[in-house]
Every structure is written in C-alpha cells, then in structure tokens.
Amino acid sequence: MFTKILIANRGEIALRIHRAAKEMGIATVAVHSTADATAMHVRLADESVCIGPPSSAQSYLNQPAIVTACEITGAEAVHPGYGFLSENAGFARIVEEHGLAFIGPTSEHIRLMGDKITAKDTVAKLGVPCVPGSDGQVPNIDEALRAAKDIGYPVLVKAAAGGGGRGMKVAETEKDLPHAFSQARAEAKAAFGNDAVYLEKYLTLPRHIEVQVIGDTHGNACHLGERDCSLQRRHQKVFEECPSPVIDAQTRARIGGVCADAIREMGYRGVGTIEFLYENGEFYFIEMNTRLQVEHPVTETVYGVDLVREQIRIAAGEKLSFRQEDLVPRGHAVECRINAESVPSFVPCAGLVNSYHPPGGLGVRMDSALYGGYSVPAYYDSLIGKLIVSAPDRPACLMRLRRALGEMVVGGIDTTVPLFHALLENPDIQAGDYNIHWLENWLARQMGQAPKSPAH
Ligand code: MV4
C-alpha cells in the first residue's frame, strides 16, 4: 500500500479523498492555487504545495507542476478527483511514466471512453444496450440523410468528443438535418477541435440512470446498482438518488450484471459509471465516465462501501474487498448539490461565508470544504457542498431531507438551498415522477415562462 498520495483537486472532493487516505494510514499532499492558500483541503492535508496562480489552467490543470509536487514530497500516487485532470488520458500516462500510480483507470481506457463513438462501439460489442444510431462516424450530409432514414426521425447529431451537451443538435424531420448536421459539426470543432459526429435516435422523454461499476487488476468486477440523475439544469446535475424510484431489484440485477460483465471483459480497473437513458422500460447506453463522480456518496450510503478507499486499494494492486453477492442495497439516499448561486437566476455568488452550520443527525452527511470565515473564490465551480441524506425508504428520506435543509446555515452568500425546499413540496418529486426535462420545465413555469421542452 502507498504511504503518501497527492490529491490533485480542491474543495469538497479533496477533503473526501483526504478522509479515505487518513483512514488507511496514508499521508496526504494537497496542491493549491494562490487563491486557495487558506482552503480547508490545504489546512487538513499533511503537506501542501502551491502550484500556480488562481486560474485553473495554470494551477489545477498544470500537469508539470503536479508531477513536480509528487517528486518534491515523495508522493507515490495521484488521485485526480472529478473534473480537472480526472479524465485526461495524457495526464494519466505521464503520471505512470514518472513511476507514480494514477488512482483511476489506465490511460487507454480513459481514451477509449473519451471518444463517444469508440466507447459505444466497445460496449455494444460486449452486450450493453445502446441507442439505435449510425454505424460510427458520419462523414457527410449524404451519409447522414441515409443513416437518419434507417434510424427514423427525430434524430440527434452528437459530437464524438462531446460532453455537457455541446455539439448536440436535434433534427425533427429530414428538412432539419442539413442545418443540424453542420451546426453540430461546427460546434464540436470549436469546442473540442474535433468535428467527428454520429447520429442517434432522439429519445424524447427519458430518465438519466447511471450504473456504478468497479473492477480490480485481478479480473474481478462488480456493480453497485444505479443512480437516478434526471434532475439537471443545463447539463448540470442538481439532485440525485439511489436507488432510482423506477427500477426494481430484478431490473437492477439484470442491467448491473450486463455492466459488470462488460467492464470485466474490458479488463477495466477502478471505478466507472455507465450512463443510460431509460425510456419505456428500456436502457440505452449514452456514455461511460471513467472517474469518481460527484454523486458517488448516494451509492456509498446505500451499499455501505467506501468507493475512494476501494479506488486507492485497486491502484495499489489489491483485490476488491467484496464480491457481487456481498453488495446488498439498503434503504434510500438522495443528494442535493449546494451551489454558491442565487435562485432562481443561478448567477454565481462568491464571497465571505460569515457563518456555517452543517446539518447533522442520523442519516445526514454533509460533504463540504466550507468553514465560517472562508471566502468562496470566484475562479472555480460554484459547488460548495453536497448534502446526502438517507433513510429506510424514500418517503422517510425526503422527510429527513426537509429537516436537514432546515438546519443548514450558510451565512453571507446566496446558495441553492431554497430550490430544494421548493422541489420537496412538489407532487411529481414526491412521487419520483420526473424525466431529464422536468427541472428546466418546472423552472420555466416558476418564472412564468412557457416550458422549453416537451411537457414531461
Ligand atoms: C440524448 C438525448 C436524447 N436522445 N441522446 C445530453 C448530454 C449527453 N451526455 C447526452 N445527452 C442526451 N443524449 C439521445 N439519443 C438527450 C440528452 C439530454 C440529456 C441527457 C441526460 C440528462 C439531461 C439531458 C438534457 C438534455 C438532453
């Protein structure tokens, strides 16, 4: 096992990784920008290294500075967290070329899944159900028109290098396709420097359901059920739950088994998330994330597993500490992403947190790097905390969430806490009756506007 690891991240996830490491007797190294000199991840770590000025490009994305920080401190492994360098195949390779362990998958697996066309082709061959679509990349509009005729309208043009919904355009009918096709290509070229696109049947009212998987370097692979992450705004998740309100135990075992078998066959190492759209009782693969996700705590809570501890063990060459039959879901967990933003404008709100009181009690976990007197910098993502609440069943979980939200004090800045109070009063949310368009439609109605997507 490692004696010292470097945490190449900031905020709540840097604390989350630090906590797992300390519980394993591993020393931690924090890296930070000049804007984060007084951040909690720096205070808690055993050592810290300043790696650059405030902008992420010059600090948390500064690969030479991070590798140098390992060499200076003697850290043997790097945990990238989520975002930043977590899905950068080149960084994973460089870390390993320096004789360090990357706490994550191989750079080859990161690269394979980073291209949505090769990802889909790979998992489809391993029996994972996919959205009907073109056979790989579509090089020109003539081929697009031919593929779309087979698929049937509406179709979605997607960027191979895509993510976050960029380079994605819907064509409702054949006459919309030339415009959608050229728009998607142009957007993909601008955003990713890669204009490769492919076509899929456009699913109109799906849920976003993702399966948590984990594999070690000894040929073992398991699934830890699913999370329902349908409540999103502008491709940012807002509220997640485990299990999904619409998946039964038999369905979970079936799709989970398919996913675990697929990653075992690939020789996948580490944690991963296989994302699906779920509509009319069917799963359709969209992409695979090769990192620890923001919403991993709902899975940890329901399955009683420390996913970060498992990540570190796997990177050190150890076996998974459980078998599939040991993984029995218990109760229900939800997560609210608390952002430093005003509601309902969602304008970021940085500044001094003059008071901070996290909620507590049975079934309440607050993952946050806040403290009273901390000033939220304007340079980074506005996520300042995650409230994870669990209970024996979903109704009790929502009651407990209401109680926990009521206890939370984040003084001096605006947060998204009021959004969750409002959502909890909604009958659709209480019933678990929502899809990927629900939140944006509800927000539009709250603002007295017409819904922008088909009513759910
Ligand atoms: C889709 C889709 C409908 N049909 N693919 C959005 C980002 C990317 N990760 C995949 N996305 C979608 N792919 C097909 N064939 C609708 C979306 C989508 C979406 C997916 C998950 C959660 C929120 C979403 C919001 C808008 C569109």
In the annotation, is 207 catalytic? no
Mean pLDDT of 254-263: 98
What does the pLDDT look like over 34-79, one tens digit per residue? 999 999 999 999 999 999 999 999 999 999 999 999 999 999 999 9
> Ligand 1 center to residue 163 CA distance, Å?
10
What was the pLDDT predicted at 453?
A: 64
Query: DSSP H helical segments within 224-326, as ranges?
Result: 249-266, 296-303, 307-315
Residue 129 pLDDT exceeds 50: yes
Ligand 1 geometric centre to CA of 418 (Å): 27
Task: Provide the pairing of β-strand 236-242 with 207-215.
Answer: unpaired
Question: pTM (2 decimals)?
Answer: 0.97
Residue range 284-290: average pLDDT?
Answer: 98
Reported as a pLDDT band with limits 50, 70 and 90, residue 238 is very high
Does the pLDDT value for residue 456 go beyond 50? no
How many angstroms from the chain centroid is the CA of residue 182? 29
pLDDT in tens, 147-199: 999 999 999 999 999 877 888 999 999 999 999 999 999 999 999 999 999 99
The catalytically annotated residue of 10, 16, 227, 291 is 291
Atom of ligand 1 minimally distant from the CA of 229: 22
At 73-126, the pLDDT tens digits run: 999 999 999 999 999 999 999 999 999 999 999 999 999 999 999 999 999 999
Q: What is the mean pLDDT of the chain?
A: 97
pLDDT of residue 301: 98
| Predicted confidence (pLDDT) at residue 452 exceeds the cutoff of 90 | no
Question: Given strand 169-171, what is the order of strands in its sheet?
Answer: 169-171, 155-159, 197-201
Which candidate, 204, 145, 152, places its Cα nearest to that of 179?
145
> Cα 264 from chain centroid?
21
Q: Whose CA is nearest to atom 15 of ligand 1?
A: 202
Q: Residue range 129-152: average pLDDT? A: 97
Which residues does a 6 A CB cutoff place in the pocket of ligand 1? 131, 156, 165, 200-203, 208, 232, 235, 277, 286-287, 436
Write out pLDDT tens, residues 310-353: 999 999 999 999 999 999 999 999 999 999 999 999 999 999 99
Distance 333 CA to ligand 1 centre (A): 24
Report percent pLDDT > 90 for the chain. Answer: 96
Inter-residue contact 92 to 113 (CB < 8 Å): no
Q: Whose CA is nearest to atom 14 of ligand 1?
A: 202
